[in-house]
A and B are shown apart, each in its own frame.
Chain A
């Protein structure tokens, strides 16, 4: 079931390109497979870029601040 906001629209939208739907697709008959494909691609890009940024750009950009046994020595 859906709220009835849009259904009663009878006047044209600003978006003249937005024609009324060719067909009504209800909740139960809709599987967003295209979205799954797109978001899957996004996921792969994120994972690849994360590894590249962390292990190539960051770790390869040494020297890096490391923990040290010297910590705290030398300061009064």
Chain B
């Protein structure tokens, strides 16, 4: 078999091209540290996704200084949670799975992109250096409303980020002269202590208390107001911590029965 000299030259060039391509990809893996989605995430019975300790209530968790884990359920035809909020300057590990069909999980305009396959957990670690807002899109056909399956990923400036949750409780009605107790529970999902101020406005009375919530802990603050200071009638109350706010209404006077059973629970978290 005689191969023409020119074609021999091309054969060598083609081999160089192929080896060069493989070398570039290898450089990306080793030199730049780019990792492939692989079998590290493990498997999961799709029927048990809703009972799984993380995927039943998916969301953002802090696991170390500037290190976060995000659990995401990709399901027909939505991402849970969405928007996902993480701080800039952090290393975020996503765990994504599906309870139903195959989906995609693509962070628009980035190289964060994976298949989501029922039975498997896709695990990816990403460093977010800068704040920004990204779209999330399912890029694998998953059914008739596939095109509606989108979401949002918000990378907030580090100093604005928290994993604080606030809930508040107050009676709906109290008799005139009794005390009104407003109880605020502040939960700190981050690992560092949270120094903050809880403010309660009950009617025209404003109360403040500084609290320190331990990392991965919660604190309860109770504000007490004498209802006779407010007078009979309906009074709005609001509890605020940083950007979080809970509110309700308390009625002073009128019916005095079963006052202790009627309470307003409010809850908010940062989702």
Residues of chain A touching chain B, judged by Cβ–Cβ distance below 8 Å, are 31-33, 35-36, 39, 43, 46-47, 50, 54, 58-59, 61-68, 70-76
Contact = CB atoms under 8 A, between A and B. Distances in A.
Contacts, number: 97
A68 B93 contact: yes
Contacts of A67: 33-35, 125
Contact of A74 (B37, B61, B110, B127): B61
B32 interface: yes
A75 B41 contact: yes
A68 B7 CA distance: 45
Contact of A70 (B33, B36, B93): B93
A64 B34 contact: yes
Given A35-B6, A58-B111, A70-B69, 19 more contacts: A32-B6, A39-B10, A43-B13, A54-B24, A61-B109, A62-B111, A63-B126, A64-B110, A66-B33, A66-B34, A66-B35, A67-B34, A67-B35, A68-B93, A70-B64, A71-B125, A74-B54, A74-B61, A75-B54
Closest 5 CB pairs of A and B: A68-B125, A67-B35, A64-B111, A65-B124, A36-B6
Contacts of B121: 75
12 contacts: A32-B7, A35-B6, A50-B20, A63-B107, A63-B110, A63-B126, A65-B37, A65-B125, A66-B126, A70-B67, A70-B93, A74-B93
